[in-house]
Amino acid sequence: MPASLWPSWAEMLRFLPEIILTVAGTLIMMLEPVLGSRSRRGLGQFALAGLSAALAAAVVADGSPGPAFSNMLVVDGFATFFRVLVLAVGILTVCSSYPYLNREGASSGEYWALLLFSITGQCVMASANELIMVFIGIEISSISSYVLAGYLRDDKRANEAALKYFLLGSFATAFLLYGIALVYGAAKSTNLAVVRAAVEKGEAPLLLVGIAAALMFVGFAFKVSGAPFQMWAPDVYQGAPAPVSAFLSAGPKAAAFAVFLRVFMTAFQGVSDRWAPVVWISALLSMSIGNFAALRQSNLKRMLAYSSIAHAGYVLVAMAARSQSGSAAVMFYLAAYALMNMGAFAVVAHVAGKGERYVEIQDLAGLAQRQPLTAAALAVFLLSLIGVPLTGGFFGKFYIFKAALESRLIWLAVLGLLNSAVAAYYYLRILVVMYMEEPGEVTNGLGPLPLGLKAALAMPVVGLLVLGIFPSGLLDYAVKSAKFW
Partner 1 sequence: MDHLLSIVLFTPLLGLLVLLFLPSSNKNLIRWWANLASFAGLLVSIPLITGFDRTKDFQFVETAAWIPSIGASYHLGIDGIGLVLVILTTLLGFLSILSSWTAIEDRLKEYYAFFLLQQVGMLGVFMALDFLLFFVFWETVLVPMYFIIAIWGGQRRAYAAIKFMIYTLIGSVLMLLGILALYFYHQSQFQVLSFDIADLMKTNLPAGVGWWVFWAFFLGFAVKVPMFPFHTWLPDAHTEAPTAGSVILASVLLKMGTYGFLRFSLPLLPDTSRNPQVVNIMAVLSIIGIIYGALACLMQKDWKKLVAYSSVSHLGYCTLGIFSLNPAGIAGSVIQQINHGISTGMLFLIVGIVYERRHTREIAEYGGLFKVMPVFSMVFLIAALSSMGMPPLNGFIGEFTILQGAYQMSFNWALWSAVGIALGAAYLLWLFQRTMLGEASEKNGKLLDLSPREIAVFAPLILAAFWIGLHPKPMFQVLERPVAQIVERVRPGYFAEHKLASPLTTPAASLR
Partner 2 sequence: MTGVPLSWYLILSALLFALGVAGFLFRRNIITVFMSIELMLNAVNLSFVAFSYQLKQVNGHIFTFFVMVVAAAEAAVGLAIILTVFKNRETLNVDEVNSLKN
Does the footprint of partner 1 cover residue 405 (CB under 8 A)? yes
Cα distance between residue 244 and residue 226, in whole Å:
20
Compare residues 61 and 383 and give the one whose CB is closer to partner 1. 383
Query: CB-based burial of residue 473 (10 Å sphere; 0-12 exposed, 13-18 middle, 19+ buried)?
Result: exposed
Does the footprint of partner 2 cover residue 241 (CB under 8 A)? no
Stretch that binds partner 1, among 99-107, 194-202, 218-226, 465-473 (CB under 8 A): 465-473
Q: How far is the CB of 472 from partner 1 (least distance, A)?
A: 5
Cα distance between residue 397 and residue 54, in whole Å:
30
Q: How far is the CB of 215 from partner 2 (least distance, A)?
A: 9
Closest to 15 (Cα-Cα) out of 63, 73, 102, 70: 73
Query: Residues 185, 228, 355, 389: which binds partner 1 (CB under 8 A)?
Result: 389
302 contacts 245 by C-beta, under 8 angstroms? no
Binding residue count for partner 1, defined by CB under 8 A: 35
Compare residues 64 and 298 and give the one whose CB is closer to partner 2. 298
450 contacts 347 by C-beta, under 8 angstroms? no
How does DSSP classify residue 483?
Answer: -
Compare residues 297 and 419 and give the one whose CB is closer to partner 2. 297
Q: How far is the CB of 175 from partner 2 (least distance, A)?
A: 8
Compare residues 169 and 471 and give the one whose CB is closer to partner 1. 471
Q: How far is the CB of 386 from partner 1 (least distance, A)?
A: 8
Does the footprint of partner 2 cover residue 147 (CB under 8 A)? yes
Cα distance between residue 251 and residue 259, in whole Å:
13
Compare residues 56 and 431 and give the one whose CB is closer to partner 1. 431
Compare residues 357 and 408 and give the one whose CB is closer to partner 1. 408
Query: Residues 70, 71, 102, 159: which binds partner 2 (CB under 8 A)?
Result: 159
Is the C-alpha dihedral spanning 70, 256, 116, 144 positive or negative?
Answer: negative
Interface positions, 416-445, toward partner 1 (CB under 8 A): 417-418, 420-422, 424-425, 428-429, 431-432, 435-436
Q: How far is the CB of 178 from partner 2 (least distance, A)?
A: 5
Burial 155-181 (b: 16+ CB within 10 A, else e): bebbebbbbbbbebbeebbebbbbbbe
Under 8 Å CB-to-CB from 2, ≥6 apart: which residues?
Answer: 70
What is the per-residue DSSP string for 407-450? TT-HHHHHHHHHHHHHHHHHHHHHHHHHHHSPP-HHHHTPPPPP
Query: Residues 2, 185, 277, 445: which binds partner 2 (CB under 8 A)?
Result: 185
Closest to 128 (Cα-Cα) out of 176, 200, 170: 176
Annotate each residue in 296-315 with x if it binds partner 2 (CB under 8 A) or - if it does not, as one string.
xxxx--x-------------
Cα distance between residue 355 and residue 352, in whole Å:
8
What is the contact surface with partner 2 in residues (CB under 8 A)? 132, 135-136, 139, 143, 146-147, 150, 153-154, 156-157, 159-164, 166-167, 170-171, 174-175, 177-178, 180-182, 184-185, 188-190, 234-235, 238-239, 296-299, 302
